[in-house]
Chain A
Amino acid sequence: MESLYILIPLSVVFVFVIGWVFWRALESGQFDDLDRPAHDILADDDRPPEDGA
């Protein structure tokens, strides 16, 4: 059971890391438009960009 003394603090640290990552994602605008990704997958433009376009 000694491993708990490492694992639990570690998991607490992870929680804070994940919280920070979420905060970064939020501030970069990732959650501002939740409708778009669902449509992006349908409106995928696979063609290479034309020159001069």
Chain B
Amino acid sequence: MCCAGCQAVARTIAAAGFESYYQTRSASGPTPQTLPPAAVYDDPLAQRQFVATAGEHVREVSLILDRIRCAACLWLNEQWLRRLPGVTRVDINYATHRAQLAWDERRTKLSEILEAVRAIGYDAWPYDPRRQDEVRRRERRGALLRLFVAGFGAAQAMMYAFPAYLDDGSGTLTAANEQLMRWAGLILTLPVLLVSCRPFFAAAWQDLRRRTVSLDTPIALGIAAGFAASTWATFTGRGEVYFDSIAMLVFLLLGARYLETAARQRAARELDHLARWMPSFAQRLRGPDDPAGERVAAHALAPGELALIAPGERVPADGVVERGASSADESLLTGESRPVAKAPGAALVGGSVNLEQPLVMRVTRAGAETQAAAIARLVERAAAARPKLVEGADRLARHLTLVVLAAAAGAFLWWLAAAPARAPWVAVAVLVVTCPCALALAAPIVLTRANARLLARGLALTRSRAIEALARASDVVLDKTGTLTLGRFALARTATFGALDAAACRTLARSLEGASRHPIARAFGEGPVLRVADARNYPGHGVESVADRGRVRLGTAAFCRELARSAPPPAGAGPAHTTVYLADATGWLAAFLLEDELRPDAVELVAALMARGFALHLVSGDEPAVVEALARRLGIEAFAGGASPQDKYAYCERLQRTGRVVAMIGDGLNDAPVLARADVSVALAAGADAAQAQADLVLLGEQAQARLLVIDEAFAVARRAMRVIRQNFAWALAYNVVALPLAAAGVVGPWEAALGMAASSFIVVLNAMRPLAPKAPWKASTYSSRSRSFSYS
């Protein structure tokens, strides 16, 4: 039972005495069909990639679990897998949705285990954990250990420093006791230095060898100098010790870094989803007459080769249908969940699922060349690239580092002359108090989080500069067809001219269009069809068939006129309509007034963008009258119809010349020049074409559903992200400008310096971790479960 809903249904069925339904039903649920058969994972070739041998008959594998909705699902999976015969060990990581599984190969097979997971409505597939997970786990463990040692060491060192702070010179703290405390502090700080500070020292050492400075240089220098001076004071018994300050500084710095790493890793996990669109294997045919072919790795396919795709399998590469007729589920790429019919000549997108009949495809692009791989690459590239903003901050931080090193040296020399005993401590304070790392941290975390957040909502960022530009945009230029409208026609009105009534005309039209894949065909909806013969398609004009009543044509006025041999009667078309006529040899039958269907959320998007204060423009290549009608309907005041791509480009350029920052929202293919021209662009490329979209952001998936508002959300997220970044910069700069002179003047001691700098980076990181999206509504479930537990206690 996957949820309360299914349980209720099952109970109802059982209560009514219909249990036999469960014995006799031949298919259980819709899920298994769209998945590749699990049996491919029994293939030794596949096993070599994923499965490890952990004993004579014991095999181990790492699984990614999908369709997980909450922790209860994970629990269910774990219990279920544990009860399978032959499974010896199951460990599910609740945070990453990964499972470690060991089984006895004599008693069960990997495919049976995978099928078992599918049987309860989830999905699992093996993956190769050695690649990233091991690295990530090592990093995580190392970071935790360093953090713990620093935190624990800092707390303990503070205990032994405390008496010295409280000592009022009354003799309560004897010199021998104080010396004891100092030795204890030294011993406790030693592991902090040796374990926790390794990243700082390693980075500083690298810099030294490359003769550069980085943010770690002053930190390493400060820590080393502070520790050396304190150790010297401990051995000689003269001067101050600051072991507690050093340990605390390290702890706070590492804490900030830990948060940063966690934020980055979470974002990186989002990208994993893109990588698994492609199947691992393909059935390659050696020639057109080869019935079964051979199993090869999907990336081993070469363009021009033939591959067989069984029903339920994923298409292993991009290509065209060579033989067979079926339909494909391209929802992973396009978001369109309705199957797309595939006949010989139709394009197949790698990663989509063949649903009905076996297909033979001719490969055009395989492996890394496929569109799915290209999209994944785009997103990864954007995630890895450093936006100008971050680069600028880094440069600034580097310069500040040099200033700090110079200031520390200057302060040291000056104090050496004035008060030699204080000179080293002032230098340490200067090194430690400045916080160039706040500058360096200010932007990247926020940008990474914004990126991950948008990707989770189906908006892939392909250029790293996009967030900044989104936040600055003042004007939004919208395309019409395929952007505000679906590029799909809906029947607005049927005008009949006598011989048949409206319903009969629609049935006839549906039957004629039934054979064609024209976008207009959808306008006539679902319903009964008549038998027609000898269907012929005249591209750009219409279709012709022979029905019961003889030859019938559906198409433009001129095309139908050849058959009806008279002028078309007035149909009463408005400016926003496209008219299609139906006629037979006896005369005109009907006129269909078609409207390009508005996206269900286009009105909301326009309203939301207006509420944000954007100036909106509707620029389209469509008939000016149609564009005007739509603009009036949506309340957009600036519009231009009949615009060629060059006109759109010029329109955008004109806006920019008046100082406006233009965000362009288009369909990604026909608008490529203007998308590139705009300061930032969003493409609604229907998935399959997303890779070619010359846009900064690509809206993946859900072509037909209410997803446009994600764009509005992107503006909100970008603005908020930029605001946080500005706050961080302002804070980091202000802090450093104030702190540096204070430390150089000897007003701020080392421990105050350490506290100040750690607090500064903490503030920056915590500010960066603030939610980027408007607050989610209070979760009722959390509230009720808590109140219930109170009443029990």
Q: Which chain A residues have a beta carbon within 8 Å of chain B's beta carbons?
A: 1, 4-5, 8-9, 11-12, 15-16, 18-19, 22-23, 26-27, 31-36, 39, 42-43, 45, 53
A32 adjacent to B140 (CB under 8 Å): yes
29 A-B pairs, CB-CB below 8 angstroms?
A: A4-B177, A4-B180, A5-B180, A11-B156, A11-B184, A12-B184, A12-B187, A12-B188, A15-B153, A16-B191, A19-B152, A19-B191, A22-B148, A26-B145, A26-B148, A27-B141, A31-B141, A32-B137, A32-B140, A33-B96, A34-B95, A35-B71, A35-B94, A36-B93, A36-B95, A39-B71, A39-B74, A39-B75, A43-B71
- Please tell me if B181 contacts chain A, counting CB pairs below 8 Å: yes
- Of all A-B residue pairs in the complex, the 9 with the closest CB atoms, nearest first, are A39-B71, A36-B94, A43-B75, A35-B94, A35-B95, A33-B93, A8-B184, A15-B156, A33-B95
**Least distance between A2 CB and chain B CB atoms (Å):** 10
Across the interface, A43 reaches (CB within 8 A) one of B72, B95, B137, namely B72
Chain B residues near A15 (CB, 8 Å)? 152-153, 156, 188
Report the minimum CB–CB distance from A28 to chain B (whole Å). Answer: 10
Complexed CA–CA distance, A12 and B183 (Å): 10
B95 with A23: CB separation less than 8 A: no
Contact partners of A9 in chain B: CB under 8 A: 184
A15 to B702, CA, bound (A): 56
Chain B contacts for A11, CB-based, 8 A: 156, 159, 184
Expressed in whole angstroms, the Cα–Cα distance for A22 and B150 within the complex equals: 13
Question: Shortest beta-carbon distance, B744 to chain A, in Å?
Answer: 35
CB distance from B137 to the nearest CB of A (A): 6
- Residue B144 lies at the interface, judged by CB distance under 8 Å to chain A: yes
Chain A residues lying within 8 Å of B181, measured Cβ to Cβ, are 8
With CB as the reference atom, state the residue of chain B lying closest to A16. Answer: B191
Q: How far, in angstroms, from A26 to B141 measured CA to CA in the complex?
A: 7
Return chain A residues, CB-CB under 8 Å to B96: 33
Residue in B closest to A52 when the chains form the complex, CB atoms: B85
Interchain CA distance A29-B574 in the complex, whole Å: 70
A32–B74 alpha-carbon span in the complex (Å): 16
Q: Known contacts A8-B160, A26-B141; is A19 also within 8 Å of B93 by CB?
A: no
Nearest-CB residue, chain A, relative to B96 = A33
B interface SS class: helix
Q: In the complex, which residues of chain B have a beta carbon less than 8 angstroms from the beta carbon of A23?
A: 145
Residues 173-200 of chain B, each 1 if its beta carbon lies under 8 Å from chain A, else 0: 0100100110010011001000000000
Nearest residue (CB) in A for B174 is A1
**Contact residues in A for B174 (Cβ distance below 8 Å):** 1
For the complex, is B69 an interface residue (Cβ under 8 Å from A)? no
Measured CB to CB, the closest approach of chain B to A14, in angstroms, equals 9
CA distance A1 to B178 in the complex (A): 12
Give the Cβ gap from A36 to chain B, nearest Cβ, in Å.
4
Contact (A8, B79) CB under 8 Å given A15-B156, A33-B94? no
Closest to B95 in A: A35
The complex places the Cα of A49 from the Cα of B137 at a distance, in Å, of: 33
Chain B residues with CB under 8 Å of chain A are 71-72, 74-75, 79, 83, 92-96, 137, 140-141, 144-145, 148-149, 152-153, 156, 159-160, 174, 177, 180-181, 184, 187-188, 191
| Interfacial chain A residues near B95, Cβ < 8 Å | 33-36
Residues of B within 8 A of A22 (CB): 145, 148, 152
Give the docked Cα–Cα distance between A9 and B188 (Å). 11
Contacts A32-B140, A39-B72 aside, 6 further interface pairs with beta carbons under 8 A come to: A15-B156, A26-B148, A31-B144, A33-B93, A39-B71, A45-B79
B79 to chain A: closest residue by CB: A45
A16: chain B residues within 8 A (beta carbon): 191
Q: How far is B160's CA from A11's CA once the two chains are assembled, in angstroms?
A: 11
Is A53 within 8 A of B184, CB to CB? no
Closest A residue to B78 by CB, please name it: A43
Instruction: Looking at the assembled complex, report how far the CB atom of B185 sits from the nearest CB atom of chain A, in whole angstroms.
Output: 10
Residue of A nearest to B180 (CB): A8
Chain A residues whose CB sits within 8 angstroms of the CB of B92 once the complex forms: 36
With A and B bound together, what is the CA distance between A12 and B152 in angstroms? 11
Hey, which chain A residues are within 8 Å of B148, CB to CB? 19, 22, 26
How far does the Cβ of B507 sit from chain A's closest Cβ, in whole Å? 56
Q: Whose C-beta in chain B lies nearest to the C-beta of A27?
A: B141
Inter-subunit contact B93/A32 (CB<8 Å): yes
CA distance A36 to B72 in the complex (A): 11
Contact status A39-B94, CB under 8 Å: yes
> In whole angstroms, how far apart are the Cα atoms of A26 and B147 in the complex?
12
Contacts of A32 in B (CB 8 A): 93, 137, 140-141
Bound CA–CA A11/B95 (angstroms): 36
CB of A1 within 8 A of CB of B177, answer yes
Tell me, rounded to whole Å, the shortest Cβ–Cβ distance linking B133 to chain A.
Answer: 10
**Closest CB in chain B relative to A21 CB, distance in Å:** 11
Measured between beta carbons, the chain A residues less than 8 angstroms from B153 are 15
Q: A19–B196 Cα gap in the complex (Å)?
A: 12
* Nearest-neighbor residue (CB-CB) of A42 within chain B: B71
Determine whether the beta carbon of A19 is less than 8 Å from that of B149: yes
For the complex, give the distance between the alpha carbons of A1 and B140 in Å.
43
A40 to chain B, nearest CB (A): 8
**Which residues of chain B have C-beta atoms less than 8 A from A42's C-beta?**
71
- Once the chains are docked, how many angstroms separate the CA of A1 from the CA of B487? 87
B296 to chain A, nearest CB (A): 36
Across-interface contacts of B144 in A (CB, < 8 A):
26, 31
CB neighbours of A19 from chain B (8 A): 148-149, 152, 191
- Cα A35 to Cα B96 in complex, Å, equals 9
- Residues of chain B within 8 A of A35, CB atoms compared: 71, 94-95
Q: Closest A residue to B76 by CB, please name it.
A: A43
For A9, A15, A35, which residue has the most chain B Cβ atoms within 10 angstroms? A15
Q: Which residues of B contact A36 (CB under 8 A)?
A: 92-95
User: CA of A32 to CA of B181 in the docked complex: distance in angstroms?
Assistant: 36
Please give, as numbers and ranges, the residues of chain A lying within 8 Å of B72 by CB-CB distance: 39, 43
**Bound complex: CA of A34 vs CA of B156, how far in Å?**
26
The CA of A22 and the CA of B152, in the complex, are separated in Å by 11
The CA of A32 and the CA of B100, in the complex, are separated in Å by: 13
Residue numbers in A under 8 Å from B191 (CB-CB): 16, 19
Q: A12: shortest Cβ distance to chain B, in Å?
A: 5
Contacts of A4 in B (CB 8 A): 177, 180
Give the distance in Å from the alpha carbon of A40 to the alpha carbon of B375 in the complex: 38
Q: Which residues of A contact B159 (CB under 8 A)?
A: 11
Cα of A9 to Cα of B414 in the assembled complex, Å = 40
Q: Give the docked Cα–Cα distance between A15 and B188 (Å).
A: 8
A53 vs B180: C-alpha distance when bound (angstroms): 62
The CA-CA distance from A11 to B158 in the complex, in Å, is: 13
Chain A proximity of B41: nearest CB distance (Å): 25
Give the complex CA separation of A4 and B172 in angstroms: 14
Residue on B with the closest CB to A50? B83
User: How far is A45 from B75 in the complex, measured between Cα atoms in Å?
Assistant: 10
C-alpha gap A5/B188 in the complex (Å): 16
Instruction: Select from chain A the residue with minimum beta-carbon distance to B187.
Output: A12
Q: How far is the CB of A4 from chain B (nearest CB, A)?
A: 6
Give B110 Cβ to nearest chain A Cβ, in Å: 21
A37→B177 CA distance, assembly (Å): 44
- Give chain A nearest CB distance to B174 CB in angstroms: 7
**Given the complex of chains A and B, what is the CA–CA distance between A39 and B181 in angstroms?**
44
CA distance A16 to B191 in the complex (A): 9
* A residues near B188, Cβ cutoff 8 Å: 12, 15
**Cα A22 to Cα B151 with chains together (Å):** 12
Nearest CB of B to A13, in Å: 10
Knowing A35-B95, A39-B75 are in contact, say whether A18-B152 is a contact too (CB < 8 A). yes
Q: In the complex the two chains form, what is the Cα distance from A18 to B153 in whole Å? A: 11
Instruction: Report the minimum CB–CB distance from B519 to chain A (whole Å).
Output: 47
Compute how far the CA of A33 lies from the CA of B91 in the bound complex, rounded to whole angstroms: 11
Q: Provide the bound-state CA to CA distance between A31 and B160, in Å.
A: 30
A11 CA to B19 CA, complexed, in Å: 68
